[in-house]
Homo-oligomer: A and B are copies of this chain.
Amino acid sequence: MGETVVVAGASGYAGALAARILHRHPHFELAAVTARSDVGVRLDELYPHHRVPLVLEELDLDRHADVDAAIVGYPHAASAPVVAELRRRGVRVVDLSADFRLRDRATYEQWYGEHKAPELFGTGVYGLPERYRAQIADADLVAGPGCFPTAAILGLAPLGGDGLVADVVIDAKSGVSGAGRGANQKTHFVSVDENVAAYKIEGHRHAPEIDQELRAAGAPVTCTFTPHLLPLDQGELLSCYVTTTRRVSQSELEERYAAAYAGEPFIELTDASPGVFDVRETNLCRIKLHSEPRTGKVHVFAAIDNLWKGTSSQAVQSLNLMFCRPETEGIGPTALTPAGVTA
């Protein structure tokens, strides 16, 4: 067995899925699952389909920090102090919250409020392996990207770099699991079914995160970003409409992306329009490019599973890198292996 990992915050969708992946990972050992609610409940009672037969425990740092690594699935702000304590004890962390994603303090505070571990602010490596592979390998603290930024950056970064991008409009469509496990009127079946609407029309906090990473990719824009809630559980499609400073032909587009993503195990460039079902329960991002002759704009469609590549399997992808494992280990071998057997 390899390094031990604890998943803190495993009662939520993201933490539970991380636990499932680690529980079956060929290398890592899932040491414990902790939660702030549902303590004492076996995880496979909450999530039968994940088939993780561990009991949720309260986080006890004296006991649970005796591991090599942790994936922390706490909400924003609640995460920072736990991460800080885990780091003090030498545990390498992949944090799924927004607490260590942003590099500008004022921007963080504007969208999330006061930071609860200011000494660590800005020290996380942005956990998008396709962009920061080397840094992640060396990192002790990885900030798992937001699900929307994951698809946005993977979809748009290859356009950056030479003043090409003038304006970006991102229309995002998300399944309901993106809203988390919290039960409220917005996630009630009757509210979502047979419906679609934009949400957070006044501003979504993933917008500055997308801006930050587009800028880092050489595309310094203030993006338009509006998410919509759809009647499906998992999956996220980003439709990006890019105004460029010069015409980019279809073939140039395709060559540019082929070059940028050569050898990437989790990027699929496709001729067909990508649907979220195509990437369901995978760590893949599936991308379609279109150069629109009527307007000269570049259209990019990027589909991911918000819980997998958008969150939990991507966290394990980082963990693989951090511990010198094959990047695809446990999250997409050569197989779409089928599932579940009783122990």
Contacts and interface: CB of A to CB of B under 8 A. Distances in A.
Contacts of A301: 197-198, 201
8 contacts: A171-B239, A175-B194, A195-B232, A195-B235, A201-B288, A223-B295, A224-B241, A268-B342
A311 interface: no
Contacts of A281: 281, 338-339
Interface stretch (A45-53, A77-85, A140-148): A45-53
Interface stretch (A55-63, A64-72, A93-101, A327-335): A327-335
Given A198-B273, A266-B341, A230 B233 contact: no
A177 B188 CA distance: 10
Contacts of A273: 197-199, 201
A230 B195 CA distance: 9
Task: Give the one of A51, A272, A277, A328 with max B CB within 10 A.
Answer: A277
Contacts of A342: 264-268, 284
Interface of A: 13, 20-21, 24, 45, 48-51, 167, 169, 171, 173, 175-177, 181, 183-185, 187-199, 201-203, 207, 222-224, 226, 228, 230-235, 237, 239, 241, 243, 264-268, 270, 272-284, 286, 288, 290, 292, 294-295, 297, 299, 301, 303, 308, 313, 328, 330-342
A45 B272 contact: yes
Nearest to A176: B189
A222 B243 CA distance: 13
A17 to B, nearest CB: 9
Contacts of A278: 48-49
B189 A193 contact: yes
A195 B193 CA distance: 13
B294 A195 contact: no
Contact of A284 (B177, B192, B196, B341): B341
A292 B224 contact: yes
Contact of A24 (B51, B222, B223, B336): B336
A232 B193 CA distance: 7
List 10 A-B pairs, minimum CB-CB distance, nearest first.
A197-B275, A24-B335, A171-B171, A337-B337, A195-B277, A48-B278, A282-B339, A282-B340, A332-B341, A176-B189
Given A49-B280, A194-B277, A280-B49, A231 B189 contact: yes
A276 B196 contact: yes
A230 B277 CA distance: 12
A207 B294 CA distance: 10
Nearest to A307: B190
B267 A196 contact: no
Contacts of A45: 272
Contact of A188 (B173, B181, B199, B336): B181
